Amino acid sequence: MSDVDLIELNDSLIDSQYLTFIITDEEFAVSIMKVKEIIEYQSLTQVPMVPKFIAGAVNLRGAVVPVINLAVKFGLEARAVNRRSCIVIMEMQLEGETVVLGILVDKVLQVVDIPESEIEPAPSFGAQIKTEFIQGMARSEDKFVIILSINQVLSINEISVVGKLQNENTSTLDAEVEKNSAK
Amino acid sequence: MDENTQIFVSESEELLEDMEQALLALEASPNDDNLINRIFRAAHTIKGSAGLFGFDDIIAFTHVVENLLDDIRNCLVPVSVDLITLLMKCKDQIVEMIENLNSEDSIEYPEKAELLALLNAFSASSSSDETPSIASVKQVVSLESDNSTGSIYHISIRLGLDTFREGFDPEIMFEQLKELGTITQIKMVQTSIPRLSEIDGENCHLGWELSLDSLKSKQEITEVLEFMDGANIKILSPDSQSKDFIKLINELPEQDSAIGKILLDIGAISPKELQSVLNKQKTQGGLTGELIIEEGLSQEKVVKSAIKTQSKVRKEKQTEREFIRVAADKLDKLVNLVGELVIGSAKITQLAKSRHDIELEESVEEMTQALEDMRETALGLRMTPVANTFNRFHRVVRDIAKSLDKKIRLKITGGDTELDKTVVEKIGDPLTHLIRNSMDHGIETPHERLLANKPEEGTITLSAFHETGSIIIEVKDDGKGLDAEKILSLAKERGLVAKDQVMKRSEIYKLIFEPGFSTAKEINNISGRGVGMDVVRRSIESLRGTVNIFSEPGQGSRIVIRLPLTLAIIDGFHVQVADESYIIPLDSMVECISLSDSQKIEANRHDHIKLRDSVLPLIPLDKNWGINKNQNTFEQARVNLVVVQFEGKKIGVLVDSLHGEVQAVIKPLGKVFDGLRGFAGFSLLGSGQVAMIMDIADLAKSVASKERERHNFTERRTRKRVSMTDILE
Amino acid sequence: MSDETTNTKVIVIEDECTIYDVSDFKESVMHHIDNQMNIIFDLSQVSKIDASVIQLLLSSKIELEHKGLEFNLKNCSAKASEFIRSISCDEALLLAIEAPLNP
């Protein structure tokens, strides 16, 4: 085996590692490459006037990190925070900038190795979650694990919805007035 | 660009900046020799450095400039406005050449030949001096480097008081020196040794003045001598001028005349120099360095060897000025780390308290205090005075005024106001444009001004000051003011407003900031002509600032830029609403009011409250901020009202509790929350909790617009639909 | 000890003379100075000397000059003169030998 092959092999080994966790009874997996660390749930600071899927912000050793509630994002019924709730800290590239984000999960399971051959394509129907968020499905024991296409889930268009308010050149306060009077 | 070139570029830029300031000052006081010397030194240093790197173009050009400056220095050529204009153009030329160092292609400078011709025409010795002198400069450089003997450094050594006790033997030091080169001259300094009756034999009072002939750089010599703890060692480079020796004499602990004599003995200065130093000191008592330069006492040898050693000396010079360059991201990292420390210490403080250990509490208290100081210092590192940016406008104003045939004076106030470095850098271009605009359209010709009973010379005032948590930068002129009618008709012509629209004058003025008002196509070169004011507005908004214009016909205009103090610590007031903490910038606070029962009901039911016979609009925290804590019942109603104001407009914020003043570090909202309105950023409280910093300006605006909407809801709907279609197109 | 107002005392420095001896050295020299003695330091017996002693010699010289007394160095051993030269104090000390300064 040549050196080049070796390197490719090693890369694919890491590539095939996934962190699995539970959100609202569903088992999800994200590539370990994006995961920076996992912290215990701690009380979040609410950020006003943002979409509901933004759970708030948390202090990660002096840096303020936005936390995304994926249950809300996926339209699942969000569970109350419990002892096992965690924040998975991810490092994403958004518009060329490194951005640190947290995602709220109900329980972290394990790091598993899922070879590409075992990943099945996302079903085109039946899934509650938008198919573009799903990289594929894998069987874990008797269940299916949804492997998230995290770059899609946490893309700038998906999470910085607040930007839209600005483009409309009106604040939510105005929007509120409009909504109220529309009723 | 390699690192050395980088150093050359940034150093030269600094020198050229200084040269320009000196030139401007020289225009006002043409007989100031200090200024002429400053200008000369700048040119000379650049030429020398360029020689080292072999930037032939720069050497050749700067050489001619330097010749003329030398003539000016020797009073062979009188200072005149034309001369200064020429020198400024030369400065620009050098700037351009330095900027293009990176470029691969050989660049033609069409103006250079003309400038050279002018320089030679001005120069007194033009006929005798050959223009292209690269060869000669290079020759000097190479001759010197071929020379086997090194350069003569002057070294002053005063051993530390504890030298003997520490078991250090000066013999080692001399061995080291001998490894570095040859000691050509040496004198022991005896004057600081006490008399036997007064001496403590274990204290060390030994010192020497010596000349070292060495091929090593000053840096290397410094490093070798560094091992002597507590010793006071001064090394003067071979290119040191007389003033450096004067400085040395002044700094050394011994009597000036005694040291002067020693320096004389070892040949570092001439008897004439020493004599004049001592005389001048007698009569003036003050700093004499500049005087010596005036008299041109600098030794020729010293000046020549400057070229050779400049690169080595360069780093030294920076430290001598007590400045070091630090990458901005390192500072940010430092600020973050200090922030973490502060939070960590808050936890320790709480732990210490719970242990009821007085001693522990006290030491924690001390540490916290030191940390606070440290945080403040760290934050201050990024702040720079706006003067750096402001001062360059003297030149802009001077040049444009000349080209417009107007007489305009630039007045600067508040240059020491500090702003975050990034903001200072980014505000330059918008300001340039505003100033150009004022000069172009605001200030009248001298003739017009005289007819209008105004002084012939117009004034543009550029000022900076703090106001309610912001920094205000104002560009004010005493020109003819904006022509509201003309603006309105232009706006109508361009379809910005309806043909039949009636507007208030202040609203009309704001139209100039609308995109599409200016016809200019180009938006990249902001300082160029005819670029729209909308670009200015956008640049300022990108700094989270606002811009406003006020004008009085015949009296002039005033443009007010309001900038946030990004990254600065703001003095804030910590309030709590439900479980959430917020920070209100202290500067914008007017008062805190504890509500009476009846006020409570009113305030919590409506979005305004009657306060001392006027209606105070409220920021409805709960409804819009997603804080869904039910407070319909009387018990749950908010009890405290914080009154804030922005641009004279007062609004109220209902809160549950007031936690007092805090110093808050603004952490930017970041990519995800970038578009969030109403908040200036996050901050970390002592407990580690994240609090949001309210942006009162933004909140006030939204409250104001909300009020407007209420009055005029339907009309806006129509208008908005129109603007949406515009966007789609 | 002598009652004469100006007498000359020869102090012979022997063997090793270093920082450990400076305080005794000072005391003894001061004693002679208080007694208005010119002093000659004989360095012929020196096997080791250090900078603190050299400083003390210089300090003695200054004290003596202040008092209008004479300072002299004599018979430098090879070791001593080598050391004095190595730290460039020869001029300061030897000057005194060649041409004692008048008060």
Q: Is residue C91 part of a domain?
A: yes
Please, which residues bridge with residue A30 across strands?
A19
Query: Do B40 and B108 sit in the same domain of this protein?
Result: yes
What CATH number does the domain containing B671 carry?
A: 2.30.30.40
Beta strands per DSSP E along chain A: 17-23, 26-31, 35-40, 54-60, 63-69, 86-94, 97-105, 107-113, 134-140, 143-148
Does the pLDDT value for residue A125 go beyond 90? no
User: What's the whole-number mean pLDDT along residues C16-40?
Assistant: 84
Average pLDDT over all residues of chain B: 75
Query: DSSP labels for B537-597?
Result: HHHHHHTT-EEEEEEETTTEEEEEEEEE-TTSEEEEEEEEETTEEEEEEGGGEEEEEEPPH
From B282, B299, B320, the end of a domain falls on B320
Question: Residue C103: inside a domain, yes or no?
Answer: no
Determine whether C26 is exposed, middle or buried from the number of CB atoms within 10 Å of its CB (0-12, 13-18, 19+): buried
Nearest by CB: B201 against C26, C62, C86: C26
Is the minimum CB–CB distance between B625 and chain A shorter than 8 Å? Answer: yes
Task: Give the distance from residue C12's alpha carbon to the nearest chain B alpha carbon, in angstroms.
Answer: 18
Q: Which residues contact B326 (CB under 8 A, 6 or more apart)?
A: B381
CATH of the domain at C82: 3.30.750.24
Report yes or no: B334 and B378 within 8 Å, Cβ to Cβ: yes
Domain presence at residue C41:
yes
Identify residue A123 by its one-letter amino acid code: P
Q: What's the CA gap between A41 and A64, in Å, rounded?
A: 15
Q: Is B717 inside any structural domain?
A: no
Instruction: Say if pTM beats, i.e. exceeds, 0.90.
Output: no
- Give the count of beta carbons closer than 10 Å to the beta carbon of residue B500: 6
Tens of pLDDT along C80-94? 878 887 887 777 776
What average pLDDT does this structure show over C57-86?
82
Closest CA to B91 of B48, B42, B57: B42
For chain A, the domain total comes to 1
Whether A86 shows a pLDDT value over 90: the answer reads yes
Q: What is the pLDDT of residues B464-520, one digit of tens each?
A: 988 766 789 999 999 988 888 888 888 888 777 888 878 888 888 888 887 777 644
Enter the tokens of residue B179. 């490894």
Number of domains in chain C: 1
Both tokens assigned to B298: 């600098």
Residue type (1 letter), C53 = V
Contacts of B670 in chain A (CB under 8 A): 64, 66, 99
Domains contained in chain B, number = 5
Q: Which of C26, C87, C35, C88 is nearest to C62 (CA)?
A: C26
Q: Do B623 and B671 form a contact (C-beta atoms < 8 A)? A: no
CA distance B198 to C66: 12
Residues in B closer than 8 angstroms to C63, CB to CB, are: 195-197
Of the residues B365, B381, B397, which one is the last residue of a structural domain? B381
Which of B114, B144, B174 is the last residue in one of the domains? Answer: B144
- Is residue B154 located within the same domain as residue B294? yes
C-alpha to C-alpha distance for B385 and B391, rounded to whole angstroms: 11
Could you tell me which chains touch chain C, where touching means 3 or more CB pairs under 8 A?
Answer: B
**Interface residues from chain B to C (CB-CB < 8 Å):** 163-165, 169-171, 174-175, 183, 186-188, 190, 193-197, 199, 201-202, 204-206, 208, 210
User: Partners of B694 in the beta sheet?
Assistant: B679
Count of Cβ atoms closer than 10 Å to residue B392 Cβ: 16
Q: In terms of residue numbers, what domain contains A104? A: 3-182
Looking up residue B428, the CATH number of its domain turns out to be 3.30.565.10
Show the DSSP H helices in B123-186 as ranges. Answer: 134-146, 170-180
- Full strand arrangement of the beta sheet holding B556-564: B408-413, B458-467, B470-477, B556-564, B546-552
Residues B357 and B458 in one domain: no
**Residue B720 placed within a domain:** no
Q: What is the pLDDT of residues B4-61, one digit of tens each?
A: 677 788 888 888 888 888 888 888 888 888 888 888 888 888 887 787 777 888 888 8
How many Å lie between the alpha carbon of B459 and the closest alpha carbon of chain A? 37
Cβ contact B–C (≥3 pairs, < 8 Å):
yes
Q: Which carries the bigger pLDDT value, residue A168 or residue B161?
A: B161
**Are B197 and B334 in the same domain?**
no
Residue A25, judged by CB atoms within 10 A of its CB (0-12, 13-18, 19+), counts as exposed
* pLDDT over 90 percentage in chain B: 5
Spatial contact of B667 and A156, defined as CB atoms under 8 Å apart: no
Cβ distance of A49 and B713 shorter than 8 Å:
no
Q: Residue C2 falls within a domain, yes or no?
A: no
* Type of residue at B95: V
Q: Pick the range with the lowest mean pLDDT from B323-332, B495-504, B689-698, B704-713.
A: B704-713
The total of other beta-carbon atoms located within 10 Å of residue B616's CB is 16
Top-confidence residue, C34 or C1? C34
Which residues of C sit within 8 Å Cβ distance of B? 19, 22-23, 25-26, 29-30, 33, 50-52, 54-56, 58-60, 62-64, 66, 83, 86-89, 91-92
Task: Report the candidate in B151, B136, B146, B147 with the shortest Cα–Cα distance to residue B51.
Answer: B136
Interface test with A, best of B342, B343, B627, B690 (most A CBs within 10 A): B690
Give per-residue pLDDT as tens, B604-634. Answer: 667 778 888 788 888 766 555 555 455 554 4
Domain that holds residue B655: 569-711
What is each CA distance from B196 to B255, B325, B614, C33, C64, in whole angstroms? Answer: 20, 48, 85, 10, 8
CATH number for A14:
2.40.50.180
How far from the centroid of its chain's Cα atoms is residue B176's Cα? Answer: 42
List the domain range (segments joined by +) for residue C34. 7-98
CB atoms within 10 A of CB B321: 9
Structure tokens at C21: 């001896």
CATH, residue B41: 1.20.120.160
Complex confidence, ipTM: 0.84
Evaluate whether residue C1 is within a structural domain.
Answer: no
Q: Which residues pair with A111 in a beta bridge?
A: A19
How many whole angstroms separate alpha carbon B282 and alpha carbon C13?
46
- Cα B259 vs. chain centroid, distance in angstroms? 39
Q: Please tell me which chains touch B, using 3 or more CB pairs under 8 Å as the contact test.
A: A, C
Residues B258 and B334 in one domain: no
**How far is it, in rounded angstroms, from Cα B102 to Cα B5?**
9
Chain A: residues touching B (Cβ < 8 Å): 43, 45-50, 52, 54, 57-59, 61-64, 66, 94-95, 97, 99, 101, 156, 159-160, 162-167, 169-174, 176-178, 181
